[in-house]
Chain A
Amino acid sequence: MLAVKRLEKTFGLIRAVRDVSFQVAQGEVLGFLGPNGAGKTTTMRMITGFLPPTAGTAIIMGHDIIHEPISAKKLIGYLPENAPVYADMTVWNYLGFIAEIRGFIGRVRVERVQQTIETCRLDTVKHQAIGTLSKGYKQRVCFAQTLLHDPPVLIMDEPTDGLDPNQKHIVRTMIRNMAARKAIVISTHILEEVEAICTRVIIIRDGSIVANASPTELKAKSRAHGAVELTVKSAPGDLVAKLERLTSAARVEVYPPQAAPKATGVQMPRVVVYPRPSAAGAAIAAGPAQLATDILALVKANPGWDLAAMKTLEGRLDDVFRELTESKN
């Protein structure tokens, strides 16, 4: 539904966005990640037709944003950063204005505004000036503006920025509920949000895409993916040494109890064994699966070890994010 083709944006000498291409299909929620200043907002502004690209274009359901801006813009709902809405207008008048521009007239317009107000739970404040509302409500008014014409493509720039946990939950639920019928792009730097709602993730750094995969695939790239965590009641002296001797283990780290504070129960030290990456054609068997098997065998062979728990780690998105976006120097 949305195809972004080789977008480029140059501001003076700065190349803010370099050769960014991706596609979003119906039912997909694409998380657009990257550190501040990586070019997320600029890319979104080009897709929505606010900024003209230096090169490349965005096609919204067959309509080129550069050559057919009006038809393309009709299909997009755009939530800019910080939810900019006219502070001196009431919620009702503001949405009425948007509805009029979106081509709804007469009774249809009134119904459409009322319906959107209900969907976004703005009924109690609909006759209040937007400037007098709290940040959460303001964000929802802007959200209502993006949804009013039920657009097939939604572009949202940090939709939950600055909201409290309850409000974040409401916004995420709303996004998840309509995801099946739409193509959605949201930019964020809250990684838990990505795991909660995104079906695919693009990580952008210095204007270029450095990763384009599902959250699960990305987590698999993490250093901790496939690592085995053992929680031990007491650590016998030979435990760490024996684990280190495993050919499938790359490294063993011991975390003393205070490093892993738990709200309940006795605090116990944890031992994390990181897997050696499996290399094709290598003489020894390695990889996460091998590591888990090896450790299990080792535990059985040493009945003296007093384990409380053992689990395989999935990997962490923020590790991958940092690895991909942190400058090497």
Chain B
Amino acid sequence: MDSIRNTKAIIKRELASYFESPVAYVFMVVFLMLIGFLTFFVSRFYESGQADLRGFFFWHPWMFLILVPAAAMRLWAEERRAGTIEILLTLPVTVTQVILGKFLAAWIFIGLIVALTFPIVLTTVYLGAPDRGAIIGGYIGSLLLAGAYLAVGMLTSALTRNQVISFVLSLVICLFLLLAGWPPVTDLMVRWAPEWLVRGVAAFSFMPHYEAFQKGVLDLRDFAYYFSVMIFMLFGTHLVLENRKAA
């Protein structure tokens, strides 16, 4: 009971701190404007002659690349910089409760922003008969992808008291994980790395799993992939915090 109450208290505080500063609103406006622009004008939504959201979901991994590390960078770095981590971790809470609370709060925050793209869905439904399964799958995949990015951002935020360093680090790691299965990257490795290593790295990539969801395929293996990335990163965060609380 205590652990749920503690986690809930942390979630509430974190969410409030997003909305008590202008950060939340800036994020929302920028994300929604950009995703609208990219979907309608760059992906040529109207010219494609097809009422589907492929052009919309195509942009999510790239938009998240900026949005998610930016939303995650303050989670621990700011606590360290301001010293508030010292009070937080001497309260009767476990590190796991705090990590989960912060993670879930940020995930809800990103989820909320993604949910606000609903007018694009309504437009599509109004214009034609899109595949509902693909839309639902697309959103689930998008949220899971955001969660995986977020877990990476948590880890980099725990590593430093500097938000900029956290942002850049998590952007680079996410970008690598995004591109790991992409031919230009694998080609770079093929020249010197053994085949199993190339395949192994490619299998870590976010992309193939994300694309499966877009087709409306809800495969347990894809869920397992995203959740294991999140658990791995959050576990890493736990280790970092236990070992260098005062850094």
> Does A97 have its Cβ within 8 Å of any Cβ on chain B?
yes
- Say yes or no: B82 contacts A50, CB within 8 Å: no
B246: contacting residue among A51, A70, A71, CB under 8 A = A51
CA gap between A301 and B21 in the complex, in Å = 80
- Say yes or no: B5 contacts A100, CB within 8 Å: yes
Instruction: Pick from A74-82, A173-181, A276-284, A311-319 the stretch touching chain B.
Output: A74-82
Inside 8 A of A45's CB, which chain B residues have their CB? 86, 246
> Does B16 have its Cβ within 8 Å of any Cβ on chain A?
yes
- Say yes or no: A50 contacts B90, CB within 8 Å: yes
Interface size of A by CB at 8 A reads 33
Nearest-neighbor residue (CB-CB) of A49 within chain B: B90
Inside 8 A of B5's CB, which chain A residues have their CB? 100, 103, 105
Inside 8 A of A255's CB, which chain B residues have their CB? none
- Say yes or no: B84 contacts A84, CB within 8 Å: yes
Instruction: Pick from B6-14, B117-125, B194-202, B228-236 the stretch touching chain A.
Output: B6-14
CA gap between A310 and B172 in the complex, in Å = 77
CA gap between A86 and B83 in the complex, in Å = 9
CA gap between A85 and B79 in the complex, in Å = 9
Indicate with 1 or 0, residue by residue over A62-106, a CB within 8 angstroms of chain B CB atoms: 000000011101101010111011111100010001101111010
CA gap between A309 and B87 in the complex, in Å = 53
B20: contacting residue among A48, A49, A88, CB under 8 A = A88
- Say yes or no: B6 contacts A101, CB within 8 Å: yes
Instruction: Tell me whether A102 and B92 are in contact in the complex, defined as CB-CB below 8 angstroms, given that A51-B245, A88-B17, A88-B21 are known contacts.
Output: yes
CA gap between A87 and B245 in the complex, in Å = 20
Inside 8 A of A89's CB, which chain B residues have their CB? 13, 16-17, 20
- Chain B, range 78-111, C-beta contacts under 8 Å to A: 82-87, 89-94
- Say yes or no: B87 contacts A145, CB within 8 Å: yes
B87: contacting residue among A71, A80, A100, A103, CB under 8 A = A80
* Least CB distance, B1 to chain A, in whole angstroms: 10
- Say yes or no: B91 contacts A84, CB within 8 Å: no
Instruction: Tell me whether A101 and B12 are in contact in the complex, defined as CB-CB below 8 angstroms, given that A50-B246, A84-B86 are known contacts.
Output: no
- Say yes or no: A85 contacts B90, CB within 8 Å: no
CA gap between A86 and B5 in the complex, in Å = 20
- Say yes or no: B83 contacts A82, CB within 8 Å: yes
Indicate with 1 or 0, residue by residue over B1-33, a CB within 8 angstroms of chain A CB atoms: 010011001101100110011000000000000
- Say yes or no: A101 contacts B92, CB within 8 Å: yes
Nearest-neighbor residue (CB-CB) of B86 within chain A: A80
CA gap between A108 and B117 in the complex, in Å = 41
Instruction: Tell me whether A78 and B92 are in contact in the complex, defined as CB-CB below 8 angstroms, given that A89-B16, A97-B13 are known contacts.
Output: no
CA gap between A62 and B20 in the complex, in Å = 41
* Least CB distance, A118 to chain B, in whole angstroms: 22
- Chain A, range 277-293, C-beta contacts under 8 Å to B: none
Nearest-neighbor residue (CB-CB) of B81 within chain A: A84
Instruction: Tell me whether A50 and B16 are in contact in the complex, defined as CB-CB below 8 angstroms, given that A73-B91, A73-B92 are known contacts.
Output: no
Binding site for A on B (CB under 8 A): 2, 5-6, 9-10, 12-13, 16-17, 20-21, 82-87, 89-94, 242, 245-246
18 extra interface residue pairs, beta carbon distance < 8 Å, beyond A50-B246, A93-B16, A103-B2: A45-B86, A50-B86, A69-B94, A73-B91, A78-B87, A80-B86, A84-B82, A84-B83, A84-B85, A85-B84, A88-B21, A89-B13, A97-B12, A100-B9, A101-B92, A101-B93, A102-B92, A103-B92
> What are 24 A-B pairs at a CB distance below 8 A?
A45-B86, A48-B90, A50-B86, A50-B90, A50-B245, A51-B245, A69-B94, A70-B93, A73-B92, A80-B87, A81-B83, A84-B83, A84-B85, A87-B82, A89-B16, A89-B17, A100-B12, A101-B6, A101-B93, A102-B92, A103-B5, A129-B20, A142-B87, A145-B87
Question: What are the 9 A-B residue pairs with the smallest beta carbon separation, nearest first?
Answer: A84-B83, A100-B9, A73-B92, A80-B86, A48-B90, A84-B84, A74-B92, A78-B90, A70-B92
